[in-house]
Structure 1
């Protein structure tokens, strides 16, 4: 389930005692005010120009501003602190303070949070936000048993399909395509239901894998397709909108428990404001990214009739209802 021990060891050696090594934050009561500078390391896998990478920077700015410079959040993009599994593992140990990761990976620690990976779950973005801010936060409470505190959900975006073999307008066109997916049972089942051959792979390996033909394609929001330049190695994009991808904002319980009450309040407030800001940015930039992708002339972008894709993926709900909780599915679908 986790990365190899050697990776964990490197994380622990390189990053452990983050809180004490840079500012000795343990001096100062966890029930009182900030008395010394607090330095927090936050990692994610995205390019710095990605909307949720900018959300991380906005969170850092707000935390510094609200604390009068006493809280400094250092952001490490582009998998500098490891892939998503390594980031989550580091948070559980306390060797990484904060991270932005996908629910597809986080679901390995709290299976019910994989609810949000189900295909065609949300009607629109507003439905997604309301679901995440209610049902999603309730499910996130279970993460604390594993040393992880959920602060809220930023947005990765709406996921679409790309490939380098043929234009895809229906599930029939996906037959036999090797599509990279995250290491997530729901995404694997989703791609199988559409006739594709799912290939789990770390995000950092994806560009070269497509370039070398190891996989035929992938599925991601427009932000990743543009900022990671997938259009250079993929000829076709199909706007399937088959899934919405939240981006949970996590903090280590090891870190959280060491923070003074004043710092906790500032981090919670900063996270809330940064999430709202980032969601709007992501929405605004979605169409802009597609316009830029089309303008390159390297990728054909196709609008598709989504109903056949919806019907093809319906069996995924029955397969995972027990894992994610039928009551949770019902709660999301009941939100108006």
Structure 2
């Protein structure tokens, strides 16, 4: 009799467990990067926290680069359609959300990477009407910003000043604002698919490249370049975005849980990128003879002055809402104690 009750109890528990599994929601999360990247590290922490905070009622399925298609636009389309409700969008997102090109502007963010992460995820910027509406008009909702480290140049020639970039065929993401920014430095920006970039650098179809350190290492770009240049002109930023209909269908508790998770991940995201980029830079130094160049303040100022007019082009291209988002971001950075990029907001006010 006791054995019978034990079997019944085990069976009942099994049925309850199976029922719970059957009723669990699955959130598909598309990444622009491969496993072992900063986005993947962040996504793993996101998955862990969501599943913990929902007691397993939600499972998160991670979809690294290549599992959803071969072009970034495929991922963005999937998030817009809802087939993948969560995804990252970065430099190439400008074709879908033009205002997102704001995060590609050079010499807007402070050199302090932690301050950048905090401001980008602050309610003042992230939840501002200007930023939210830029995405919501395209069926998307921005729910977090992941700063993945400095955008670092690699090149076949040394770069110390803008004159060194004259005519340089530098690969940029398919982003009109990035192209304009590097034209302002005198370069000849070109767009090449990420998966084809190594061979393009190797064969001389491109002379230079822009990536965070971890990407230079994991894709081996440093193997076919002679110089790595730190100008601290911008950080690589990816927006964690959700399908708008999917997000609005979440319960209030689920939305609050997402807020708690992304808030917790601001410092964690910084730690992940710092660890990745520090370790990967050491790997690059150990495995190659690439020359590291760090620009000083005087050299950076020469690039900064050429970058400022591109802000006006950004506003002209994307409209008033983009200008408002830029003003909010500059104002928020001016309030920090970090090494501000420049007196940007004051300049903007004078121009108005």
Q: With the length of structure 2 as denominator, give the TM-score of the two structures.
A: 0.78
Give the Å deviation of 1:301.
Answer: 1.3
Q: 1:332 aligns with which of 316, 329, 332?
A: 329
With 87-96 and 198-207 compared, the bigger mean Cα shift is at 198-207
What is the rounded CA distance, in whole Å, between the counterparts of 1:214 and 1:247 in structure 2? 27
Residue-by-residue CA offset, 1:62-98 (whole Å, 9 max, x unaligned)? 1111112221111111332133211111111112121
What residue in structure 2 maps to residue 229 of structure 1?
A: 220
Greater fraction helix: 2
Unaligned runs of 5+ in 1: 1-33
CA gap of 1:79–1:101, structure 2 versus 1, over 3 A, is: farther
When structure 1 is superposed on structure 2, of 262-271 and 115-124 the one drifting more is 262-271
Q: What are the within-5 Å matches in structure 2 for residues 155-174 of structure 1?
A: 155-163=147-155, 165-174=156-165
What is the CA deviation profile of residues 277-335 of structure 1, one whole-angstrom value per residue up to 9, with x for unaligned ones? 11222134433332221222242111123122112222212322333644443333333
Asked if structure 1 preserves the Cα contact closer than 8 Å seen for 2:154 and 2:210, the reply is yes
In 2 relative to 1, CA 329–97 (structure 1 residues): closer, same or farther, beyond 3 Å?
closer
CA distance in 2, matches of 1:236, 1:79: 29
Verify: 1:97 aligned to 2:88, yes or no. Answer: no
Question: Are the counterparts in 1 of residues 116 and 147 from structure 2 also a CA contact under 8 Å?
Answer: no
User: Which structure: larger Rg?
Assistant: 2
Candidates 73, 77, 95, aligned match of 2:64: 77
Q: Which moved more, 1:273-282 or 1:213-222?
A: 273-282
Q: Match for residue 57 of structure 1?
A: 44
Alignment-derived partner of residue 247 in structure 2: 256
1:86 to 36, 53, 74: 74
CA distance in 1, matches of 2:152, 2:208: 11
- CA drift of 1:244 comes to 1.8
2-side partners of 1:214 and 1:268: how far apart? 44
For residues 31 and 126 of structure 2, what CA distance do their matches in structure 1 show? 20
Aligned to 2:144: 152
Q: Which residue of 96, 99, 111 maps to 2:98?
A: 111
How many angstroms apart in 2 are the aligned matches of 1:297 and 1:74? Answer: 36
**1:245 Cα deviation (Å)?**
2.0
Distance 2:263 2:95 in 1: 25
Give the paired residue count.
302
User: Secondary structure of the residue that 1:198 maps to in structure 2?
Assistant: coil
Partner Cα separation in structure 2 for residue 136 and residue 86 of structure 1: 25
Deviation at 1:216, TM superposition (A): 1.6
**Cα root mean square deviation, aligned:** 2.4
On the 8 A contact 1:47/1:227 being kept in 2, the answer is no
Query: Which has the larger displacement, 124-133 or 216-225?
Result: 124-133
Equivalences for residues 199-214 of structure 1 within 5 A: 199-214=190-205
Q: TM-score, normalised by structure 1?
A: 0.82
- Matched residue, 2:301: 307
1:175-232 deviation per Cα after TM superposition (whole angstroms, max 9, x unaligned): 1221111111110011111111111233233223223332122111112112222112
Counterpart check, 1:42 vs 2:34: no
Check 1:297–1:35 CA distance in 2 against 1; reply closer, same or farther (3 A cut): closer
Select the residue among 130, 135, 142 that pairs with 2:125.
Answer: 135
SS in 1 for 2:153: strand
C-alpha contact 2:28 2:86 (8 A) present in aligned 1: yes
Aligned to 1:334, what secondary structure does the other structure show? helix
Work out the CA distance in 1 between the residues paired with 2:60 and 2:266: 16
